[in-house]
Chain A
């Protein structure tokens, strides 16, 4: 009987000592899983949708080239622009960009590197072809056209 009486007297406080631990665990999970956006995109980037897509798992081995009209048309002018890293570049800079990106990864993994072309829907194929021509010159033959999965 005494047991029943005890309960009625007052609620035992829930032990929250483990709460910080739980929260910290979640925190570490998100800290590890997070990838901060390293580059600010200076071009319009509405990528097309497609169904036959392949995921690029290894982020280190991906070199991203953005293509599209500049968001700030007053500074950069109209027409398709190529963005490498953080700035708008010209077609001549593509080779150097590939060389610099290759330097960042160990030599034995360089052959697995892929160039990801993030092209805006509205950009023209000519610009993309120019880039592809440059990529062939430096023997960076693996290319992925970035797309969004088609909604079904």
Chain B
């Protein structure tokens, strides 16, 4: 009779073992996702390339010197001023822009979505407006990122405004939704198309110059 009873394994300590492992993983786990400011580096150019000529009014010159002082268009400023100045510069729309291939333009047209002052001394068109960021070798990286962040914030502000006017959704939300993905392919396609248009209307043009 005793043989027929299979001996029961005591599973009382199972929970304890599992708890121990659980606590170990709880403590060691790091669920942080890396995040940061994304930029695309320019491609490597051949030595004897014709340098493109950019009019001075289309260049927004930002210089950070070795003492982390900020000089914008030859005047002293603080980091918090960068965003506002950059917005005013990019959004100026004082002339005709480069023809945009995305909209089948053969000739440059005026910026119809800009809300800037149309100052003839400032930029012509968002797609001509170049932000030139000049740094010294000993500029601190923290300062450099702060300025990059402010410039990025200026573009985000303008793109958000345009997206709100045209589509009723902010650009940030559109990008977020695209990242999450949707089940409907038609909606997704429309979203990607809209993001592309917004990006073409306010392209991020940042030229980095490093002096030694």
Contact = CB atoms under 8 A, between A and B. Distances in A.
Given A33-B31, A50-B37, A142-B38, A27 B140 contact: no
Contact of B25 (A27, A52, A54, A114): A27
Interface string A108-152: 000000101101111111111100100111010111111101000
A137 B45 CA distance: 10
Give the interface size bracket for B toward A. Answer: 35 or more
A129 B138 contact: no
Contacts of A36: 28, 30
Nearest to A123: B141
B11 A20 contact: yes
Interface in A1-57: 16-17, 19-20, 23-24, 26-27, 30-31, 33-37, 48, 50-57
B18 A24 contact: yes
Interface residues of A, number: 55
Contact of A146 (B29, B35, B140, B148): B35
Interface string B38-52: 111111100000000
Contact of A147 (B14, B19, B36): B36
Interface of A is mostly: mixed
Interface centre among A67, A143, A145 (most CB of B within 10 A): A145
Nearest to B32: A35
B104 interface: no
A126 B156 CA distance: 27
Given A126-B138, A137-B44, 7 more contacts: A23-B15, A27-B21, A50-B36, A50-B148, A52-B149, A114-B38, A135-B41
18 contacts: A19-B15, A20-B11, A23-B15, A27-B25, A35-B30, A36-B30, A48-B141, A52-B37, A52-B149, A53-B35, A55-B179, A56-B35, A123-B141, A126-B139, A128-B141, A137-B44, A144-B37, A145-B39
Interface of A: 16-17, 19-20, 23-24, 26-27, 30-31, 33-37, 48, 50-57, 59, 62, 64, 67, 114, 116-117, 119-129, 132, 135-137, 139, 141-147, 149
